[in-house]
Structure 1
Amino acid sequence: MDYSSILTFLYSQFFIVPEYPEKSCKGQVFIVTGANVGLGLEASRHLVRLGADKVILACRNLEKGEAAVKDIEQSTKRTGVAEVWSLDLSSFESVKEFAKKVDTLPRIDSIVENAGISTTKFQVFEGNESTITVNVISTLLLALLVLPALKRSAQRHNIQPRLTIVASEVHHWTNIPERNKRDSIFEALASPEDSEMGIRYPVSKLLDVFGTRALVERTPSSYPVTINTMNPGFCYSELSRESSGIGFWLMYKLLARTTEVGGRTLVAAALGSPETHGQYMSNSKVEEPSKFVRSEEGKKTQERVWAELSAKLEQIQPGILQNI
């Protein structure tokens, strides 16, 4: 664990409040995954408030998604802007169907991949532990599947679309211990005997950082899409629904940002400049990722992760790497 990051975390939670978004989004089209609750909902609310033409809330539960749309319309007084699309990241077929629908949009300015789960219970989705399937494999699968649509929007509308993968500062707090247990990192993560489920969420977010960086390293110069990853901070959200105990309750009460403030950081990344391409953002600005990510061992681990992850993605959707 990078212990200096804990001090940075505490300072951020106590003393830094990300700026309230004011930049106009008039004429723009956004997609936010996991948008029926929490940070995704608040980010979507901000985007509607800022004048976006369309904000698509990608949700697993359509009923909750429709309720979120009504809530956004009531608070922003703008109707007909937010709409719900079905997306279940526990199913690769659902991700593929969603991406096909995205491909029909005449314009896309930004996609925020916010949906994720946090659990200590080992269960399997699509042949992998659920957190890895949802937070990592399906997240990167969707990212690569929508790149052609984003690049097409860039050319048609002379814009620089953005693709944001929501990570977390907790990626500082792990170095993926499972990487030393088998030759294959993902095989170890899929094994209940090798998995350390108490830190599975931080591991998934470190994998997101690695995946994003590895993807961007494979993009040519002057790439037409800005791809970044970001940390919203510790916020009130349903992500922590399984957490309990007096210690966690006190930390929540003392440290957690409001969901609205957390949503501001998603908007900052969703509107990020081309300079954020390949970068990790925290408190709505570019910051360094963990020491492990930047270390020689981290670089080697990133290449191992990408080799395994890209092979999985090719198996799920043959030819997908050509989308880069």
Structure 2
Amino acid sequence: MAKKIMILAGAPEHRTLDWEDGRLLNTFLSAFATFATQPEPAPTAPIGTDPGSSSDNAVWRSIPLHKARLETGLSQVHELEYAHYGDPEFFETASFSTTASTEMPATDPASQSILTRFYDHSLAIHDDIPSSQLPSGSFSTFVSSFNTTDATSRDDSVEASSFAPGHHIHAPDTAHLSDLDDIPSAAYLQSISPQTMTVNLIVGVISIAEPRTVKTRWGSTKSLVELLVGDETKSGFTITFWLTSDSESNAQDSGSAESTLRCLRRQDIVLLRNVALGAFMNKVHGHSLRKGLTKVDLLYRRRLDRDDVSGLYSARQLSSRRPGHPQLMKTKRVWEWAMNFVGGGGTSLGKRKLRSRTVRDWEIPPADTHMAVNFGMTPEQHASTKCWLHRQLFVTPPEVRNVDLKGKTAIVTGSNTGIGYECAAQLLNLGLSRLILAVRDEAKGEAARTRLLSTTDTKDTVIVEVWKLDLLHYDSVREFAQRATGLTRLDIAVLNAGVCRVNETFHAPTGYEYDIQVNYLSTSLLAILLLPSLRATTGRLVVVSSDKCCWTKFAESHQQPILPQFKNTMKPKWDMGERYGTSKLMCQLFLSQLVKHVPASTVTVDLAAPGFCYGSEFARDINGSLSGVTFGLWVHLMGRSCSLGARSLVAAAVNFGSEVHGQFVEDCKIRPQAPILYKPEGERVAEQLWSETLDELSFAGVRGIIQGFAT
């Protein structure tokens, strides 16, 4: 039988392909011929040079294995964590290498020549443009609300700004805003020379390169910073900002305008006014103008903390669906693009310390949990009714095997019946040494304990205890967590207990509706209070979630503040499904913030959904009623057994590594959470909910516990 060889090769960018006949091959390269154990062919002329060449021969193109520097004037390294490919019409003055090893040496003669020519060209635009060449309407008489500092050189091309904590700017009176897609071609810019066109742009910051100093042909020195930006129409537009005038004024003048740009971070949304357009090597680029004519205004920033600088617009304004001023609407579109397509900042720029301690970028999880998870589907697809029906009717979660829990201790709440009971049983079957059944009714807990011991093969060695836990009452939660500190070890905590009230009921001591009190507030409190005990064993915390998260409207998220809304009667009428789904969605939002403060190297935190199951006491309030009968028929038609549902909880507790931190497990696989969590609006709501919840639970010292994980 003939040997078959399959070669898998990634497709190059379309614009890097060269299909000229002189670059095509009709034989294997020597390396491939050796690999394929084929005789090395004699050199042949390229296709097209021999009139008699056969059209039956395969046509190949050689793609270099080592990346070569393109002759495009690349200069500063931006340290992006991913390869960025901008619009081919833009002249990009930054190297988009992801590692230092890909940066070409500055001594490369060809590259150095291009850089020198580009700097001369850029300086000519910066220094030599008479004001008469600029359109009269290009410069607004508006005085920027940024405080101009005295340390700024008169030749600084960027208006220096004071980024004071809590500082907000006023809306500039911008005559016209341009999309990057509106920027004219290099041919047009050359045709209007010596005139120079300027534009006003609202863009998102993709990267800011480290400042560098260059020496001009006249012997003076200039500092420059390159800003890489994009909007919802195009990306990869580079703007070169020239800073201090010369080395003689460095001691006094350097740093102010440079500091202004260095205060910007990736994903910042900025208004750039009076950016000069230039053409170099038949591509378009941007430049700053001298004497502070080019201005930078911060429109939006995702704040790192309360003391961080904010922009003109808040996340709430940008997430609103109401029509607004054209500047606001443009900012909103750029904001949505930046949140979806611009990654986090590197380590060299922006605010990286707070009170002399290193601050992690807001959107990047801890280093040991920064995993790229391929869900295999979008959050919207996972949330669709079609996908849910497929999971319920045709997907069977696999049984968890080949895990040995000998010597380990686990807590399972709501474990006297249903999914919690089955989860406890499966953990015991994996060799668990000590199990804590956390239940509201101790008598039912003891009955469950007896059943569990009668079905396990290790009943003579395993320890099963029943502990009281009533999630309606904060005191019960605190007493339970305090008791857990006395355990020799705690490796797993599965927070399964929850309620779904048929009728709207409020808990008198706190004023909150029952679902919110039990499923969200008390569960969040218990999760935080158990963290120190779990940290001692680098344990696993599992919070049971639900598919209902994907379908809830969560109308309360548009209110300020959010939590007090759940002390009021639900409008227009009570909806038990909506309220239950909201309570579970709030847990997802809260945990999305918690995992930013709790590294997986201390405690791994995840969520798990069992699916729609029959045989539990999920909606025990409707038992015996007409609604209960209807619900029972529906759940037996569409549901799965509690035993099958519990498999996902067990998988979330014992399978996976740090990649599951902050993720959602369903059918024993990592799946997307509710779609809102992947949108800017979700980040805003999660932040607000996080702050309000920590304030609500402050009586238990939750902030101190969380802060303890930063050390």
Is the deviation greater in 12-21 or in 72-81? Answer: 72-81
Q: 2:389 aligns to what?
A: 10
Is the deviation greater in 6-15 or in 78-87? Answer: 78-87
CA distance in structure 1 between the partners assigned to 2:569 and 2:685 by the alignment: 21
Is the deviation greater in 240-249 or in 12-21? Answer: 240-249
Corresponding residue to 2:696 among 312, 316, 320: 312
8 Å contact 2:404–2:431 — kept in the other structure?
Answer: yes
CA distance in structure 2 between the partners assigned to 1:64 and 1:83 by the alignment: 12
CA distance in structure 2 between the partners assigned to 1:246 and 1:113 by the alignment: 28
CA distance in structure 1 between the partners assigned to 2:484 and 2:629 by the alignment: 43
Structure 1 residues 212-243: Cα deviation after superposition (integer angstroms, max 9, x where no partner): 111002234x5311000111100111102235
Q: 1:81 aligns to what?
A: 463
The answer for unaligned runs of 5 or more in structure 1 is 154-159
Amino acid at match of 1:72: L
Q: 2:302 aligns to what?
A: none
Q: 2:480 aligns to what?
A: 98
TM-score normalised by the chain length of structure 1: 0.92
Q: 1:245 to 1:121 in 2, by over 3 A?
A: closer
Q: 2:171 aligns to what?
A: none
8 Å contact 2:502–2:619 — kept in the other structure?
Answer: no
Spell out the pairing of 1:117-156 with structure 2 (5 A cutoff): 117-125=499-507, 126-127=509-510, 128-153=512-537
Q: Which has the higher helix share?
A: 1
How many residues are matched?
316
Amino acid at match of 2:389: L
Q: Secondary structure at the match of 1:121?
A: coil
Larger Rg: 2
Structure 1 residues 95-147: Cα deviation after superposition (integer angstroms, max 9, x where no partner): 10101111111111110000100113222224111111111111110111111
Q: Does 1:186 align with 2:563?
A: yes
Q: 1:321 aligns to what?
A: 706
Corresponding residue to 1:279 among 638, 641, 663: 663
CA distance in structure 2 between the partners assigned to 1:193 and 1:268 by the alignment: 36
The answer for unaligned runs of 5 or more in structure 2 is 1-379
Amino acid at match of 2:415: A
CA distance in structure 2 between the partners assigned to 1:196 and 1:203 by the alignment: 13
CA distance in structure 2 between the partners assigned to 1:266 and 1:186 by the alignment: 28
CA distance in structure 1 between the partners assigned to 2:569 and 2:555 by the alignment: 14
CA distance in structure 2 between the partners assigned to 1:43 and 1:213 by the alignment: 24
Deviation at 1:170, TM superposition (A): 0.8
CA distance in structure 2 between the partners assigned to 1:193 and 1:170 by the alignment: 18
Spell out the pairing of 1:54-69 with structure 2 (5 A cutoff): 54-69=434-449
CA distance in structure 2 between the partners assigned to 1:246 and 1:109 by the alignment: 40
Amino acid at match of 2:553: N
8 Å contact 1:59–1:84 — kept in the other structure?
Answer: yes
CA distance in structure 1 between the partners assigned to 2:506 and 2:444 by the alignment: 25
Q: Does 1:72 align with 2:452?
A: yes
8 Å contact 1:314–1:320 — kept in the other structure?
Answer: no
Spell out the pairing of 1:114-263 with structure 2 (5 A cutoff): 114-125=496-507, 126-127=509-510, 128-153=512-537, 160-180=538-558, 182-194=559-571, 196-198=574-576, 199-220=578-599, 223-236=601-614, 237-243=616-622, 244=627, 247-263=630-646
Identity %: 36
Q: 2:685 aligns to what?
A: 301
8 Å contact 1:48–1:82 — kept in the other structure?
Answer: no
Corresponding residue to 1:27 among 388, 391, 407: 407
8 Å contact 2:504–2:574 — kept in the other structure?
Answer: no
Amino acid at match of 1:106: T
CA distance in structure 2 between the partners assigned to 1:97 and 1:323 by the alignment: 21
Q: 2:650 aligns to what?
A: 267
CA distance in structure 1 between the partners assigned to 2:565 and 2:574 by the alignment: 10
CA distance in structure 2 between the partners assigned to 1:178 and 1:313 by the alignment: 20
Is the deviation greater in 244-253 or in 81-90? Answer: 244-253
CA RMSD of aligned residues (A): 2.0
Amino acid at match of 1:42: E
Deviation at 1:48, TM superposition (A): 1.1
Deviation at 1:323, TM superposition (A): 4.6
Q: 1:31 to 1:246 in 2, by over 3 A?
A: closer
Q: 1:253 to 1:162 in 2, by over 3 A?
A: same
Amino acid at match of 1:212: L
Deviation at 1:320, TM superposition (A): 4.0
CA distance in structure 1 between the partners assigned to 2:404 and 2:523 by the alignment: 28
Corresponding residue to 2:429 among 36, 43, 49: 49
Amino acid at match of 2:541: L
Q: Which has the higher contact order (CA 8 A, sep 6+)?
A: 1
Q: 1:323 to 1:32 in 2, by over 3 A?
A: farther
Q: 1:129 to 1:8 in 2, by over 3 A?
A: same
Is the deviation greater in 29-38 or in 310-319? Answer: 310-319
TM-score normalised by the chain length of structure 2: 0.43
CA distance in structure 2 between the partners assigned to 1:251 and 1:323 by the alignment: 47
8 Å contact 1:29–1:53 — kept in the other structure?
Answer: yes
